[in-house]
């Protein structure tokens, strides 16, 4: 829910808090910390491509994408073990 608000109101957030506000960058990292599937990662990539980065939040944008990517690949790499541990079909992971 917060991700949709952040994404849809990005221009307004920048106008209200300033383009160089580092907290907006940290908020992006915090919001995207739980992204773990290809759909969310693609949404994040599209958002980053459609919004210009400024020096103060370029690192935050990088770390948000890096974490989403690591989460996704961790799930991919460990889904078989998780499925066996929880006794569920791997497609449900």
**Residue span of the structural domain in which 67 resides:** 2-92
Instruction: Quick: pLDDT tens for 29-48.
Output: 999 999 999 999 999 999 99
**Would you call 77 helix, strand, or coil by DSSP?**
helix
CB 12 within 8 A of CB 43: no
Number of domains in the chain: 1
Q: How far apart are CA 63 and CA 32, in angstroms?
A: 10
In our burial notation (b when 16+ CB lie closer than 10 A, e otherwise), range 6-41 reads bbeeeeebbeeeeeebeebbebbbebbeebbeeebb
Q: What is the pTM of this model?
A: 0.82
Instruction: Quick: pLDDT tens for 51-80.
Output: 887 766 889 999 999 999 999 999 999 999
Non-local (6+) Cβ contacts of 49 within 8 A are none
pLDDT band at 93 (very low <50, low <70, confident <90, very high): confident
């Amino acid at each position: 829910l917060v991700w949709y608000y952040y994404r849809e109101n990005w221009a307004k957030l920048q106008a209200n808090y300033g383009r160089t506000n580092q907290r907006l960058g940290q908020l992006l990292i915090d919001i995207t910390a739980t992204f773990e599937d290809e759909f969310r990662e693609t949404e994040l990539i599209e958002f980053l491509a459609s919004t210009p980065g400024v020096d103060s939040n370029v690192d935050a944008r990088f770390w948000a994408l890096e974490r989403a990517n690591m989460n996704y690949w961790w799930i991919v790499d460990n889904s078989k073990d998780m499925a066996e541990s929880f006794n569920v079909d791997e497609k449900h992971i």
